[in-house]
Amino acid sequence: MSPLSSLGWNSELTTYHSDNTVALQPREAGTPTTLDALSSSILTPFKAHPLLFNGHLQTAWTVATQTDIPVYYGRKIMKGRDGGSFAVDFVVSPFEGTDYPAESTEGLPPRTRFLSPEEIAAQETPQEEDTKPMIIALHGLSGGSHELYLRAVLDPLVKQGWEAAVVNARGCANSKITTHQLFNARFTDDVREFVVQMRRWWPKRDLYAIGFSLGANILCNYLGDEGPSCQFKAAVLCSSPWNLEASSLNLERTFLGKEVYSRVMGSSLKRLFEDHVDVLMNDPLINVEKIRATKYLWEFDRDLTAKVFGYPTVGAYYRDASSIDNLVKVAIPTFIVHAEDDPVAPKEAIPYDEVRANPYAFMAVTSMGGHLSWFEPNGERWYCRIVTDWLGKMQREVGGVERREMRWKAGSKL
């Protein structure tokens, strides 16, 4: 790759897909197209910001950027199948703090309030004539609906008339836990419960999903578990780690990986733990002081996540939670975006063969871009434009998707 004066650095863009991707039926009269043809039509080259010329700098800027994207949320607390609670944030019209009682915003992230009882009652009344497209987002490790990388996708879609909601992992985004459970990369029940409720509330909406980083891993696991019965029309997976054991080992083998990325992610989970320690300390499987002594991501997963969810080792947790094998079971059009220089989700974990084996999958891989970054010379994120264009095209132009007999049945073991 070479610098182009002040315009940035050229990045190679390579696509991967089956030799015979599924046919997409037109919404109006016309000729069917294929998933690879539609997906390729929205792709444009990625040119990296001239000062962000590798994956580390791109990823660092994701944290450092002060860009403001004013998305507002109304929060609803839902019950999981196990009796635990999780928070769903629905995008709502902008509001001022004085528009609602102080208790409706207290303790919540900026621009977030609780939905009123009247709003909840209206929402839970089935809307038989509502045909708006709706996007459901899953955030990355210990994040939430407030994350910039997430709002940068939701904002343009909402401006185009979409409805949107973020399913926050338990304990994230200033939500409260009611069971001994925090973030788990294999736990899909809350997404499943929310989809069931959405189908009851809005039976005619086209539903879409997008996952970011570990949220993409969770979403892929959900899509694979659901197989042909999945209620989403299409999905997007951004910067998924795919193979959690390979990703963890990759972090541990370099100084930056271990002392920056793994330590930072471990620290963010420890802060999440401290936010809920009053509940978690009552679990006999949890050694509070041992968890407080951890430094790295894998240590936290070893001493908390694996133990709480019944895994004998952290490696067993990572292998079970990895979504790479579930990708071949996905049976809805799925658009994947990944960068080869992603320092968190390494190149060796990218599912090249699995994408080729699944006619419902299409993957765009850039040589540069970092983790959930892809910053261009104008400061905007390339992937946001790409995935919103893809989702918009799917919604406007596609009326149905060809059904294929999948090699791997949903729920089967590879």
5 φ/ψ sector (left φ>0, alpha ψ -120 to 50, else beta):
left
Nearest to 307 by CA among 180, 187, 185: 180
| Active-site hit among 36, 89, 325, 342 | 342
Q: Which one is catalytic: 18, 175, 213, 323? A: 213
Give dist(CA 54, CA 370) in Å, integer: 7
DSSP structure class, residue 42: T
Rounded-to-integer distance, Cα 390 and Cα 395, Å: 9
CA distance to 219, 230, 405, per residue, from 326 (Å): 10, 13, 16
Cβ-contact 377, 349 below 8 angstroms? no
Q: For residues 395 and 206, is the Cβ–Cβ distance under 8 A?
A: yes
Q: Which of 49, 139, 338, 371 is catalytic?
A: 371
**262 DSSP 8-state letter:** I
Q: What is the CA radius of gyration of the chain?
A: 21
Contacts for 206 with CB less than 8 Å, ≥ 6 apart: 131, 133, 134, 233, 395
Q: Where are the alpha helices (DSSP H) in 139-262?
A: 148-159, 189-201, 214-226, 244-252, 255-256
Cβ–Cβ under 8 Å, residues 390 and 158:
no
* 301: annotated active-site residue: no
- Please confirm, yes or no, whether 146 is among the known catalytic residues: no
Nearest-5° Cα angle at 85, 219 to 311: 60
CB 46, CB 376: distance < 8 Å: yes
Paired residues of 75 in beta bridges: 89, 114
Helix (H/G/I), strand (E/B), else coil: 102 = helix
DSSP code of residue 145: T
- C-alpha to C-alpha distance for 329 and 332, rounded to whole angstroms: 9
Q: How far is CA 295 from the centre of its chain?
A: 25
HSE, CB side, 13 Å, CA atoms: give it for residue 74. Answer: 17
For residue 313, give the amino acid letter.
Answer: T
371 is catalytic: yes
Catalytic residue ranges: 213, 342, 371
